[in-house]
Amino acid sequence: MNIVKLDMEDYDKVWIISDIHGYHNVFLKLLDKIKLTEKDLLIINGDSCDRGPSSLKMYDTIEELVKSGLNIIHTFGNHEDLMVNAIEKGELFAWYRNGGRQTVDSYKKKYDILNKHLKYIKNMPIAVDLGKYFVVHGGINPEKSIEDQIPYEMTWIRGDFIDHPLLKTDKIVVYGHTPNLDGKIHFVSDQKISIDCGSYDTGVVGAIELKSMEIIYESTDRLNIYLNQHFKKR
């Protein structure tokens, strides 16, 4: 199982973003606020594709930023899983039902780019172990140690993880996947930080810096379902 182990002390700042879902413009706005340097680390915690309009641009931009010398790791999310299974196994219904059509539209039959991105996606780690913090898209099975986890559970798990009061690890799990429909990052418990701000419903993507606990939000221009206090018009 591909879990990347890193030392937080090797970086000035450690930023985590999750569930951008093709909102490339929001991603660029967050990057402008974060002002990432080569001394920092950015973890994009799954689900950069589907639902939003610009999945192709998301993966292209990430690739360009890595080539420029920035430290960026993208973990494998359930929407990356849906995308791979649709393309390689023909499981189109589940993908299209969950925003895959927008991803297909973003590629506009650019199959060479799609194949390149697919290779990148298939090589994404399942999680990043930062020592004190464990960054994973869905969460972990609370009945198992970190060593006994399986990729599917870590990518897809929700309630069994979130609702369980005790985990078989002393790490703090930073996860996405389950959207917070108030558009905020939640400190769910002493061991759980939920960072999916529900981009495709709320229009909001959040970023958290783990050393300082600084939180930054950015939004799309729509906010047409929920009213988030961070972006009330004045």
Beta carbons of 176 and 208 less than 8 angstroms apart: no
> DSSP label at 35?
T
Q: What is the pLDDT of residue 231?
A: 42
Q: Per CATH, is 3-231 categorized as 3.60.21.10?
A: yes
* pLDDT tens per residue, range 162-172: 999 989 999 99
- What are the sequence ranges of the domains in the chain? 3-231
- Using the CB atoms, write b or e for 69-90: b if 16+ within 10 Å: ebbbbbbbbbbbbbbbebbeee
* pLDDT tens per residue, range 26-40: 999 999 999 999 999
Rg of the chain in Å (alpha carbons) = 17
* pLDDT tens per residue, range 41-93: 999 999 999 999 999 999 999 999 999 999 999 999 999 999 999 999 999 99
**DSSP structure string for 50-66:** SSSS-HHHHHHHHHHHH
Residue type, 3: I
Tokens linked to 15: 């930023």
* pLDDT tens per residue, range 184-198: 999 999 999 999 999
Q: Which residue has the tokens 């192709």?
A: 56
Residue 7 burial (C-beta neighbours within 10 Å; 0-12, 13-18, 19+): exposed
Q: What is the dihedral of CA 35, 67, 11, 190, to 10 degrees?
A: 80
d(CA 36, CA 94): 35
Q: What is the pLDDT of residue 222?
A: 55
d(CA 144, CA 8): 25
How do 133-136 and 71-74 pair as beta strands?
unpaired
